[in-house]
Amino acid sequence: MGRLKQCWSSLLVLAVVVIGTGAVPITYLQSAVAKGAVCLDGSAPAYHFDKGFGSGVNNWIVHMEGGGWCTDVASCNQRKGTMKGSSKFMNKDFGFSGILGGKQSTNPDFYNWNRIKVRYCDGSSFTGNVEAVNPASKLFFRGARVWRAVIDDLMARGMKNAQNAILSGCSAGALAAILHCDTFQAILPRTARVKCVSDAGYFIHGKDISGGSYIQSYYSKVVALHGSARSLPISCTSKMRPELCFFPQYVVPFMRTPLFVINAAFDSWQIKNILAPTAVDKRKEWKNCKLDLKKCSAAQLKTVQGFRDQMMRALSPVHTTPSRGLFLDSCHAHCQGGSAASWSGDKGPQVANTKIAKAVGNWFYGRSAFQKIDCPSPICNPTCPAISTEE
């Protein structure tokens, strides 16, 4: 496996507990263990549930945690000893903020909904589905079962009566929101308004600095190890190789459920791991540039600009479909909906003089469409904060 096997560790920051409206306790789904729906180490899956109230009592937002992937036994074993592979190591409380925030002032459209944070402990964007357990490592690849077990439990807890529902996520969790979006809609009542929101999950099938596509080989290992092919949308896998169906640009054209994409054109994780992965940057010429675009040479900035062009092409299925939404800023960021500051704060990113919370809320409720693409350079938007990697 290439050096990207360590990439998930750079995303652990996505699981930092953010200061929000108060700590929400963890729920361990012990009943899922008998169904084989377990974390990498065989422990029970988990989520945090803040119950809705008032006008939001029958509205639900299910938000899936991010945190990279594992591609072989060694990297999955490493995860197994952390909260990214075992619920035994998860923090018992989680502060909800941003899209999950419980304050009307910072999250006016969704503050009183039933808000759920699904913890990520399978390393496959909730797509793994291997029956056999590795006898040596005792690893379980059951991400798809975990997702379904959580959804079934939430249905029993009242989501079966949903009037409005959103499946969302950050990073690897946002990719999961895209991959499971149509299934989520199909499970819920036909009368419900159901949509999906991807925050920094639109990973592109991009070329790296060597001219190849290291990310494709990386995803192919994820899909093979976790047996993900049977869990990926058949509308995509019936037309191309399964590993390509980890790229939203090939899944979204066939999606039936409305989708809103929040992404940075200069996504900090994608610049680091898709454009200039360490495995192909043999001379480490990109070591500083990919972490801070101000340290890029003129030639490197031209390459970074070219990555934005790749992003724009990959997003074509989103911005050419009226029912879909797009908030594409020119920040060097990754996951921008996890804190009140970036979701709706005065100093949060804006595109077309609009903050993320307002764009998503207006789109969800049909008050107004939103498909906006920011100015083209990484220094053109003064509302962009320093590198943001939140959740």
Question: Which residue in this structure is represented by tokens 């100015």?
Answer: 375
Among residues 43, 168, 171, 342, the one annotated as catalytic is 171
Based on its alpha-carbon atoms, the radius of gyration of the chain, rounded to whole angstroms, reads: 19
The question of whether 180 is a catalytic residue gets the answer no
* Amino acid, single-letter form, for residue 280: V
Report CA torsion sign: 273, 275, 277, 283: negative
Other C-beta atoms within 10 Å of 256: how many? 11
Q: Which of 41, 152, 267, 329 is catalytic?
A: 267
* Bridge partner list, 350: 355
63 a catalytic residue: no
**What CA–CA distance (Å, rounded) separates 293 from 176?**
29
Give which of 97, 96, 85 is closest to 26, Cα–Cα.
Answer: 96
Burial 279-307 (b: 16+ CB within 10 A, else e): bbbeeeebeebbeebeebeeebbebbeeb
Q: Token pair of 287, please?
A: 């070591």
CB within 8 Å of 28: residues ≥ 6 apart: 44, 45, 46, 87
Q: d(Cα 9, Cα 79) in Å, to the nearest integer? A: 9
Among 298, 317, 312, smallest CA distance to 266 is for 312
Whether 87 is catalytic is no
Closest CA to 325 of 263, 236, 388, 233: 263
Quick one: tokens of 333?
A: 């960021």
Where in the sequence numbering do the catalytic residues fall? 171, 267, 334
